[in-house]
A and B are shown apart, each in its own frame.
Chain A
Amino acid sequence: MSPGHVLDLYVKRDSPLHRLDDRAKLVGLAGFLVGALAAPARPPWAALALAAALLGAAAVGRLPPRALVRRLVPLALVIGGPFALSRLGGAATRAAGEVFAVRSFLVAGAFGVLMAVARPADLLEVGGRLPLVGGFAALSEFILRGTQLLAGEVVRTNRAWALRAPRPGLRLRVGALTAASISLLGRAAARSERVGAAMALRGFDGRLPPVPPGPLPLSHLAAGLAFGFATLLLGVLGRWL
């Protein structure tokens, strides 16, 4: 675990999709999600078209196939399990299972592409400007910063542990792990007090000062809208045709 890089599905590339404004990416995602949730499993053309659109987006983002696979493979059990069980049921259950599987993969794929081309901190910044989401975005920033600090503490504790007990027995290992975890939690809580004090001392009044938005290039907005609208239309048409 390296501090600061514990949780990050971002794939560093220089691609049109990476350069696209995050707001435009979110607009595109929103349209795709509506399309994915509207699209039926049968006939499959709408779902296939949406999958193709997703793969197209991944290609524009120059994402290696393993980035998407890495995101989807852990879901195989979560999606495949209920799908497999649904095959044992009646017609309505089987149909529901197909819809479930199709939508799950499409939505998971969409989020996979998004998180591969946009950094969480940047997305949270965008979210922080939205009226209802703003407060939660602030807490999310704190949580992300907390992961960096905690990961650093864990690394240091592991090193200290390795130097003092390179080959511990199971009993020592379990006892020490429990004690170390409790101690780490207490230390981290005490540190969180000081961080809170630091915020208050610098004038924190309950809200993190928002970062003002930069201008949103029309071409970016158009690209996001085009993708979102096209995929939404695919899903809706698939449902109604």
Chain B
Amino acid sequence: MLEVNGLSYSYCDGGTALRDITFSIAPGERVALLGPNGAGKSTLLWCLVGVLRGEGTVVVAGTKLAPGTEHEVRRKIGLAFSEPDDQLFMPTVARDVAFGPRAHGASPQEADRRARLAAQEVGLDESLLSRPPHELSSGERRRAALAAVLALSPELLALDEPTNSLDAPGRAALASTLASLECAQLIATHDLEFVRPLCRRALVLVRGCLVADEPLANLLADQRRLTEYGLTATVVLPERGPTR
């Protein structure tokens, strides 16, 4: 499904964001992409869809990412941003969700059908479809953004910090939604409890390097490595405790 080989990326100022990343994802597989803040998780996702152009190769469902093939690759990978407002740019939710199918040549009726289906998949109430995105709550906007990505029926769904600003019921609902999808998934997150029931495998990025690619259960059982990779930390209070 996804083959990444030797992917490296450096910023304009010369700082290295990703170093020689190599991994693959099988069709239907759900993989957690873990790492502390600044590890390069988002950068990796941007590179997979060709928004950032790194060195190395990325092959998505048989299509190699190269100048000229971005359109085809982007139809196969759906990327849900960490900030849903960045993905909602049309006057109404319905038009936003239908945008992808319409941009890829679907008829208005077909695009509308796919939009309603995607909205159902993510549990977005139909009454919200005719509203402007800014009138939705943050949880609803996150679902709308996810529906907008799912409307294209991607073969790989990449999610960047999907549980940001979601309450517990929202996280549970999102987990159920993701569990019901058949496409392969790559979930970039710090939320270990969220990915625990969803993913069997974990990739760990630390300072741009892929330091682990193993079963998630093994990683979660190893507290020392979780701490070493910056995935957990212990809160240390000063001796006198809070005085204010």
Contacts and interface: CB of A to CB of B under 8 A. Distances in A.
Interface stretch (B9-17, B29-37, B77-85, B200-208): B77-85
A212 interface: yes
B86 A202 contact: no
A108 B134 CA distance: 31
Nearest to B106: A209
Contacts of B225: none
B28 interface: no
Interface string B77-114: 01101010111011100010011101110001001000
Contacts of B149: 202
B108 A194 contact: no
Interface stretch (A40-48, A58-66, A145-153): A145-153
Interface string A207-238: 01101100000000000000000000000000
Contacts of B70: 200
Contact of B85 (A149, A202, A203): A149
Nearest to A144: B91
A215 to B, nearest CB: 14
Contact of B75 (A4, A121, A149, A203): A203
B49 A191 contact: no
Given A198-B89, A204-B103, A211-B108, A4 B135 contact: yes
B44 interface: no
Contact of A201 (B51, B83, B111, B134): B51
A199 B86 CA distance: 10
* Binding site secondary structure of chain B: helix
A39 B155 CA distance: 63
A43 to B, nearest CB: 46
A121 B130 CA distance: 13
Among A197, A199, A200, the most chain B Cβ lie within 10 Å of the Cβ of A197
B134 A152 contact: yes
B104 to A, nearest CB: 5
A205 interface: yes
Contacts of A200: 51, 70, 74
B51 A202 contact: no
Contacts of A144: 91
A204 B105 CA distance: 11
Given A4-B132, A149-B85, A202 B95 contact: no
Contact of B51 (A142, A152, A197, A209): A197
27 contacts: A3-B134, A4-B132, A121-B91, A141-B90, A149-B85, A152-B134, A194-B81, A194-B83, A195-B86, A197-B46, A197-B51, A198-B86, A198-B87, A199-B99, A200-B70, A201-B79, A202-B103, A202-B148, A202-B149, A202-B152, A203-B100, A203-B152, A204-B103, A205-B103, A208-B99, A209-B102, A212-B108
Closest 7 CB pairs of A and B: A203-B103, A209-B102, A202-B100, A194-B86, A198-B87, A203-B104, A121-B91
Interface of A: 3-4, 121, 141-142, 144-145, 148-149, 152, 191, 194-195, 197-205, 208-209, 211-212
Interface of B: 46, 49, 51, 70-71, 74-75, 78-79, 81, 83, 85-87, 89-91, 95, 98-100, 102-104, 108, 111, 132, 134-135, 148-149, 152
